[in-house]
Amino acid sequence: MSTLHYYFRGLLPLAALLLPIHLKAQDPLSALDAAASDVRQAAVAAQELQARDDLELTSVLASMKDKSAVAKNWYLSVAQSIADRHPDQTLKELQQFLPRLSEDSTARYWAFSYLTRKDDQLREQILESMLADPCLELRYEAVALRLERLDEAKQLSDQERLGAYRELLAAARLPSQVQEVAKHLEELGQDVNLLKHFGFLTQWQTVGPFNNVGQVAFDLVYPPEQDYLDGELDAKNAKTLSKAYPGKENEVTWQAVSTDKEDGAIDLNVAYDNAKGAVVYALGAFTSTANQPCEVRIGSSNAVKVWVNGQLLINREVYHAGATQIDQYVAPVQLKAGVNSILVKVSERAKGRLGAGFCVSITVYR
């Protein structure tokens, strides 16, 4: 069993400095919300809105909050048309809009891009204060800028560098950027426990292999999966894991598998003798201190299904050619206070890729 590390990959927004703008009851922008389901309707609405001269840029941007990813792009088209008509006014308004941390991240990043598109100095000046920004893209660029500067700052002592990289390790969210910062720290002699930093689940009970030759088994329910869905399996209780199942070639039983790799990868080749065309199930458990919304994240070069507390959250029948990527698939999950169960079904397609395994983390998102 693993204890959930509260890895704050999500962010804690600070209180907004300014009150968000509230649109009037008859919100002319609401027609854009149909964008995801009706492109024709959204196009008509957008073209009408793009032509209007009575919309405020900041109102349009403020309206993007909680809208779908597709709808946000329609909102941006309206914002862009206002910006085209009133370039000077736009700069003033965006300078006021950008610091509003509670506004939509896509809207704020667009504002940042517009403001700084011809002004590198302003870009760097703004990014100075963005290391803890709730917009992950702004934060990413702020970290990237600091990394660039640290590379150039030859005069800094090792101690000063250590301090700076530690700050960046705390700020970075994108796995590749975290790994880059960790590499710098390790070059300076500081060990970084990425396994802990990313909050990977390291202890699993696994059973297999079951047959997947010809990729027949992704949607086939083998007995361990049924037992899990029936609530009969508990990773904490060995008695529930004593059952033997008919496997691909022989009878198979649960066995403990763990990892201490930095990328959290559970190597299934060792446990399953390089089995090919196989399905393996991995059962885990973790503790949450409260009922709370979180995210489950998995990376795997094999096809995977992931259940938490019996609910299927990730269902990806993709047999990847590349290596396992951290956070390849992410799904929201509502955790319960106390012990939560997780089941991962790994389906391999006769390429010997069980060794690439999978890596799972549960992250708190605020």
Partner 1 sequence: MRKINSWILAAIAVHAGIAQADWPGFLGPGGNAVVDDRLPLTFAAAKDDQPAVNIAWRTELPGRSVSGPIVVDGKVITTSSSAMEGRWMHVSAVDAETGEVVWLRSTKATGRPYCHPLSANAAPTPCTDGRQIYAFFSSNDLVCYDVDGNLQWFRSLTDQHPLAGNDVGMSSSPIVVDGVVVVTVECQADSFTAGIDSATGETKWEISRPRKANWSSPRVATGHDRQPVVVMHSMQDLVGINPQSGKVAWTVKLPCSSTTTSVFANGKIYVPSGGVKVFELPQAMQEPKPLWESSRANPSSASLLVSPLGVLTLNRSVLVCCDEQGELKWQTRLPDAGQFWATPVIAGETMYAFALNGKCFVVKLSEEGGEVLEECELGAEVLGSPAISDGAMFVRATDALWKISE
Position 47 contacts partner 1 (CB under 8 A): yes
Residues 285-324 that bind partner 1 (CB under 8 A): 316-322
**Least distance from C-beta 49 to partner 1, angstroms?**
11
Q: Which helix (H) or strand (E) holds 256?
A: strand 255-258
Count interface residues toward partner 1 (CB under 8 A): 37
Q: Give the residue, chosen from 8, 21, 23, 80, that forms a contact with partner 1 under the rule CB under 8 A.
A: 80
CA angle 202, 204, 210 (to 5 degrees): 135
Position 81 contacts partner 1 (CB under 8 A): yes
Give 312's strand partners.
307
Confirm if 341 and 312 have CB atoms less than 8 A apart. no
**Least distance from C-beta 21 to partner 1, angstroms?**
22
Position 67 contacts partner 1 (CB under 8 A): no
Stretch that binds partner 1, among 70-78, 188-196, 227-235, 271-279 (CB under 8 A): 70-78
Position 183 contacts partner 1 (CB under 8 A): no
Map tokens 């011809």 to a residue: 118
Q: Give the residue, chosen from 7, 97, 110, 254, that forms a contact with partner 1 under the rule CB under 8 A.
A: 110
Q: Give the residue, chosen from 33, 103, 141, 263, that forms a contact with partner 1 under the rule CB under 8 A.
A: 141
Pairing mode, strands 329-335 and 292-300? antiparallel
Tokens in use for 214?
A: 């010809």
Output 45 or 201, the one with its CB closest to partner 1.
Answer: 45
Q: Give the residue, chosen from 45, 76, 313, 364, that forms a contact with partner 1 under the rule CB under 8 A.
A: 76
Q: With DSSP H G I counted as helix, E B as strand and the rest as coil, what are the percentages for the chain, rounded to 5? A: 40, 20, 40
**Least distance from C-beta 317 to partner 1, angstroms?**
6
Spell out the residues 6+ positions from residue 4 whose beta carbon is closer than 8 angstroms to its own.
Answer: 199, 286, 287, 288, 362
Position 113 contacts partner 1 (CB under 8 A): yes
**Separation between Cα atoms, residue 165 and residue 180, nearest integer Å:** 10
| CA distances from residue 3 to 123, 124, 299, 329, 361 in whole angstroms, order as listed | 41, 40, 19, 21, 11
Output 6 or 319, the one with its CB closest to partner 1.
Answer: 319
Q: Give the residue, chosen from 16, 39, 153, 220, that forms a contact with partner 1 under the rule CB under 8 A.
A: 39
Q: Give the residue, chosen from 24, 40, 154, 239, that forms a contact with partner 1 under the rule CB under 8 A.
A: 40
Confirm if 277 and 348 have CB atoms less than 8 A apart. yes
Spell out the residues 6+ positions from residue 252 whose beta carbon is closer than 8 angstroms to its own.
Answer: 207, 208, 209, 210, 244, 245, 246
Residues 152-181 that bind partner 1 (CB under 8 A): 174
Q: How many CB atoms lie within 10 A of CB 143?
A: 24
Task: Identify residue 256 by its one-letter amino acid code.
Answer: A
Q: Give the residue, chosen from 1, 11, 23, 70, that forms a contact with partner 1 under the rule CB under 8 A.
A: 70
Q: Give the residue, chosen from 7, 109, 204, 228, that forms a contact with partner 1 under the rule CB under 8 A.
A: 109
| Alpha carbon of residue 175 to chain centroid | 9
Site string for partner 1, 251-270 (x = CB under 8 A): --------------------
**Separation between Cα atoms, residue 197 and residue 363, nearest integer Å:** 11
Output 120 or 191, the one with its CB closest to partner 1.
Answer: 120
Residues of this chain that bind partner 1 (CB under 8 A): 35-36, 39-40, 42-43, 46-47, 50, 69-70, 72-74, 76-77, 80-81, 84, 106, 109-110, 113, 117, 136-137, 140-141, 174, 316-322, 325
